[in-house]
Amino acid sequence: MTNAHAVNEHKHQHVVILAFPYGSHAAPLLNLVRRIAADAPEVIFSFFNTKQSNESTFAGLDQEQLLNITPYEVDDGLPENYVPTNPLEGVTYFLNVMPANYKIVMEEVVAKTGRQITCLVTDAFYWFAADMAEELHAKWVPLWTAGPHSVLAHMATDLVREKITTDEVHENKAIDFIPGFTGLKVLDLPEGIAEEKDSPFTTMLHRMGRALPRASAVAINSFHEIDIPTVHELESRLHLLLNVGPFILTMPQSVTPDTHGCLEWLDKQADCSVVYISFGSVIVPPPHELIALAEALEESGHPFIWAFKGNPEKQLPEGFLERTSAKGMVVGWAPQMQILKHPAAGVCIMHGGWNSILDCIVGGVPMISRPFFGDQGLNTATMEHVWEVGVGVENMVFTKEGTLKSLETTMSSEKGKLMREKIAVLKDLAMVAAGPEGDSTKNFCALLDIVTTPQTAEQVRQQRHGFRGLRKRIVGVFAAASAKLHRRHHHHHH
């Protein structure tokens, strides 16, 4: 395929991206699109999201970094001057105006650019994109930003309800009929799967589980070896599953400044001795749990870095900051990935969010997890019972005793040593997958073709199996280009 031909092939392509504006959904989707757009300069990319989410998602990026990506705003459904008291409250308003809010702006953009939509890249939540794509004669490529177990759980909703009675939900029956779920129980599943809940959110996820088999390909922020039985089951249910993660290794990342000197402080600590605490971008544990966690940290005597959202003086026990100032750091913001990669990092206390789990795997650091909602319980159970690389806190609530026990297990016991060895294996598999010859890299090449050329997913899949040699060449070119990009990126930052 000559270059002129390639350019022609891209000439009329218009990729529309529909982001989900809450939690940590829009940023990974933009990172994926940025990497695709950099390799397809002739294609135009229209990125639809709410005003508020666009502002934070595009913060710090200039047009040079965005190339051929244009952000557009859709209605967030909130009444005039309305301020939600928590992030989840806004979600319901937003779900009520969807998908009409996207359709209106999509029509305007098609008129403005004069280019028909050839591919929809959406957050996987958007089940309605299956119908949209069909009407537009376009491809649909959803991105599932979480892990393989949770998307399979949503796809198996009807099966779970058929197999499990209400009584068995309360008995917390084991789920042994889904591949890769051995050791997991009903209560580990995201809410609304085993027992129907009539909330807009759980309804959306159920519809998503039914719609995903209609997608041209489903991209996922994960890697093949993370859980082979689960991945195989997904592959058998979908047209094409493309593991293109972990994004922390495979996608452009913004560099988090170390404003508080965490890394310098870590240099002075012994290997595997430090407890790192972070609950992601949305969650703050309830007051009594924060106090229990602080008391356990203080009593354990381990050095710690706590990325704390809120006001530590008010929310932590009186005198805690003074008493632990020699041992610990409580900071508003921390360079999470660099901390987890540091030899001094010993364990990460977290919420079981998928991005944080991948960060811990790439850092090779065992976990103590206190899940709050969504896929966090399932992720926690998976890392504890399937991969055996950490523990869920006792009864899923922080108590002083329970937290001390979890710290003892992960930091000082034989079992903790095994966890560290097992997570080192997962880390190596992730590094290989994201490397130049790795599965995630090859999948990205396939994804690029599906999203930016007129080829069908089927043609791309056949090529993937046919032209091994060509793929090696493409991957080589890609690795060289990526190294060049990396050098340029570094040059920008220093």
Q: Give the residue numbers marked as catalytic.
A: 25, 123
Dihedral of alpha carbons 232, 233, 238, 243, sign: negative
Q: How many Cα neighbours within 13 Å face the side chain of 190?
A: 25
H or E element at residue 249:
helix 247-250
Strand arrangement of the beta sheet that strand 14-18 belongs to: 69-74, 44-50, 14-18, 119-123, 139-144, 218-220, 241-243
Measured distance CA(489)–CA(61) in Å, rounded: 12
Q: Nearest-5° angle of CA 43, CA 47, CA 52? A: 160
Nearest to 186 by CA among 198, 171, 205: 171
- The DSSP code sequence of 118-142 is -EEEEETT-TTHHHHHHHHT-EEEE
- The distance from CA 76 to its chain's CA centroid, rounded to whole angstroms, is 22
Question: Which two structure tokens, joined as six digits, stand for 124?
Answer: 């996987």
Q: Are strands 218-220 and 390-392 parallel, antiparallel or unpaired?
A: unpaired
Residue 48 and residue 102 in contact, taking contact as beta carbons nearer than 8 Å: yes
Q: Compute φ and ψ for 426, nearest 5 degrees.
A: -60, -40
43 CB-near residues (< 8 Å, 6+ apart)? 10, 13, 14, 15, 37, 68, 452
Q: What contacts 325, CB < 8 A, 6 or more positions away?
A: none
